[in-house]
Structure 1
Amino acid sequence: MMAATPTRAAPMPKRPFCPHCERPMTTCLCEALVSVDCPYRLVILQDPREARHALSSVPILVKQVRTASLWVGDVFDPAEVIGASWQTDAALVFPSTQATGAHAAKDGGITTLIFLDGTWKKATRLMHLNPWLQELPCLALQPDQPSTYRIRKSPRADGLSTIEAAVLVLNGLQSTQDFSVILPAFEKMIDYQITAMGRDTYRKNHLKAGRGGLSPQ
C-alpha cells in the first residue's frame, strides 16, 4: 500500500488592487482623489512601523498634493530631504513651547513644511533621533474642531491625522486656496473601514473614547 502524501491547499487568490490609489478594488478611493498645486513643499518623515499601517492618511495626502514627498526611516539627513538651505527654508509642524502660528511661516520666507507621521510616541522618537529638527521653527496647530479620524485614537485633544494637519496649516497660510478638497478621499477611507468592521463594533470600540488621529500636531 502506498503511503499517503500530503497535499497543499491551493493558495487563496490575492485581492485585486487598484494600480492608481494602491488600495483593494473594493475600497478604491480614485473617485474621491483630486490633484492640487501647492506653493509649499510638504516633507513627511514617517516612522517605519507607521508605513505598514493600512489606515495611514499619508498615502492619500501624497497622491493629491503635487509638492508632497514621503520619506520613511528613523534617521534623516536634512540636506537630502530638504536641501542645502534647510535651516532657513523649513519649518516643523509640531507642538512646542516655542511654537508660533502659521503666519510665522508666511512672514519668515519658509518654503518647506515638515510633518512627522506616526503615533505621538513614534513622532517623539523621531525628534530624538533627528536633533536637527529641534533647530527648526515650530508651527503649532489650533484646530477648532476635533479630528474626523474616528478609527484611530490620539492621547492629545488637539491630535490630528497628518492629512488634516496639512490642510489646517495650508489653509492658514493660503487665503486664496482651500486645501480641504483633499479631505473627502480620507473620509471615504474611514467610511470604508467602519463598514468593514461593522457599525456595532465601531460603536462599541470607538464611539465611547475620544478619537483623534496619529499626527502629534
Structure 2
Amino acid sequence: MEEATASQSPTPQVQRRQLCTRCDRPLPVCLCHALPPSPLPTKTKILIIRHPHESRHKLNTTPLISKTLLNSTTVSSRRLLRHHLPDEAPPAIYLFPPSPSAPAVALSHLESTNLLNYRTSPLLLIVFDGTWKHAKEMVSASEGVLKGVAQRVCLDGVDENAVGGSIFDNELVLRKEPFGGCVSTLEAVARCLGVIEPNGHEVQGVLLGVLKEMVRLQAGFMKPCKPRPKMLKKTKHKEDD
C-alpha cells in the first residue's frame, strides 16, 4: 500500500511595502521632493525626547525633522535625563503649555526676554514628542532636570477648553488633536524656530512645506471617521436640552 504524502502548500509571504531609502517613507507617499537637498543648518540646537511608543506611529513627524534640520537630535526616552544634555549646556527652552505651578512664556513674547542673544551662545530647544497624556507624564518626570536649566515656552493659541482639529479641517494636522492649539511636533518646532532663528521665516517655511506635503499625500489614503453611536447619543441629548 502506497504511503500517502500530504502536499505542502508554500507559506504565503507577506508583501512588505517598499520604503524610500532616503526619507524612509512608503514609495506612494515619498517626501524626497519636499525635503531640502541637504539638512538646513541652524544656530539653535534641537533636542527631541520621543516617547518609545511614538516610534510605532507611522504618522509621527519627528523623523522628518532630523532629515530637514542639521542640528537636530532625537532620543527615545520617557523623560529627559542629565546625560541627554550637552556637557556645557547652553541657554535652553522647552515647549509645553503652562500650568498653575509652572507658568510659561508665550512664544510671541520670547523676543522680549534675554534668551535670544545669539552673540553669546546658541539656544537649545527641548521638545517632548508623545501623545498629550504621555507628554504630560514626560514633562512631569523631567522637572528635576529642567528646573534651573530651561525656560518653559508655549505656543500661542493653546486652549484646553477648545476642541482640537483633525486632518479634515486643517492642512497641517495628521492626527486628532486633544484640544485647540495642539500641533504636531514638526509644526511646533517650525513655529518656534520661526521666532528664535535669525532666518526663522525661511526655516519655518521649509519645515511647514514638508508637513503640508505629508498631510496632502497621506489624506488620499485615509477615510473619514464616522461618529461613534455613543457620541451621536450625547449630541442628540444636548440638542434636545
Which bracket does the TM-score occupy, shorter chain normalised?
0.7 to 0.9
Percent identity between the aligned chains?
24
Counterpart-to-counterpart distance in 1, 2:79 and 2:225 = 39
Alignment of 1:89-104 (within 5 A): 89-97=91-99, 98-101=103-106, 102-103=110-111, 104=113
Normalized per residue, the structure richer in helix is 1
- Equivalent in 32, 35, 60 of residue 56 of structure 1: 60
Displacement of 1:59 after TM fit? Answer: 1.0
Assess if the C-alpha contact under 8 Å between 2:187 and 2:207 holds in 1. Answer: no
- Other structure's SS at 2:220 match: helix
Q: Tell me the SS of whatever aligns to 2:14.
A: coil
Q: Quote the RMSD (CA, aligned, Å).
A: 2.4
Q: How far is 1:114 from its partner?
A: 0.2
Structure 1 residues 172 and 75: CA distance shift in structure 2, 3 A? closer
Which of the numbers 128, 149, 158 marks the counterpart of 1:116?
A: 128
What amino acid maps onto 2:94 in structure 1?
L
Q: After TM superposition, give the deviation of residue 19 of structure 1 in Å.
A: 0.8
Closer, same or farther in 2 for the Cα pair 1:128/1:204, shift >3 Å? Answer: same
Residue 190 of structure 1 is aligned with which of 215, 220, 232? 215
CA shift for structure 1 position 168: 1.0
Which region of structure 1 is more displaced relative to structure 2, 107-116 or 64-73? 107-116
* Distance in 2, Cα, partners of 1:106 & 1:48: 31
Alpha-carbon shift at residue 175 of structure 1 (Å): 5.2
Question: Does the aligned pair in 1 maintain the 2:43–2:122 contact within 8 Å?
Answer: no
Question: For residue 138 of structure 1, what is the aligned residue in structure 2?
Answer: 152
Q: In the alignment, residue 76 of structure 2 is paired with which amino acid?
A: V
Q: 2:224 aligns to what?
A: 202
- State the TM-score, normalized to the length of structure 2: 0.73
1:124-183 residue CA offsets vs partner (Å, 9 max, x unmatched): 111232231344211111159x76443311222110111111111111123544222122
1:23-34 alignment runs, 5 A limit: 23-34=25-36
- For this pair of structures, how many residues does the alignment match? 199
Are the equivalent residues in 2 in contact too, given 1:91–1:112 (CA < 8 A)?
Answer: yes
Aligned to 1:209: none
Tell me, in whole angstroms, the C-alpha distance in 1 between the residues paired with 2:180 and 2:66: 25
Residues 75 and 174 from structure 1, CA distance in 2 versus in 1: closer, same or farther, beyond 3 angstroms?
closer
Larger radius of gyration: 2
- Mapped to 2, the partners of 1:82 and 1:70 lie a distance apart of 12
| TM-score of the aligned structures, taking structure 1 as reference length | 0.81
The 1:195–1:167 alpha-carbon spacing in structure 2 relative to 1, beyond 3 Å, is same
* Cα distance in 2 between the residues matched to 1:140 and 1:76: 18
The aligned residue for residue 139 of structure 2 is: 127
Higher relative contact order (CA 8 A, sep 6+): 1
SS of 2:136's equivalent in the other structure is: helix
- 1:43 match: secondary structure: strand
The runs of 5 or more residues in structure 2 that have no matched partner are 159-164, 228-241
What's the counterpart of residue 68 of structure 1?
72
Greater than 4 Å deviation, 4+ residue runs? 107-110
Q: Report the AA paired with residue 191 of structure 1.
A: R
2:61–2:186 CA contact under 8 A, matched in 1: yes
How far apart are 1:12 and its partner, in Å?
3.1
Matched, 1:81 2:84: yes
Contact 2:95 2:153 in 1 (8 A): yes
Letter in 2 for 1:166: V
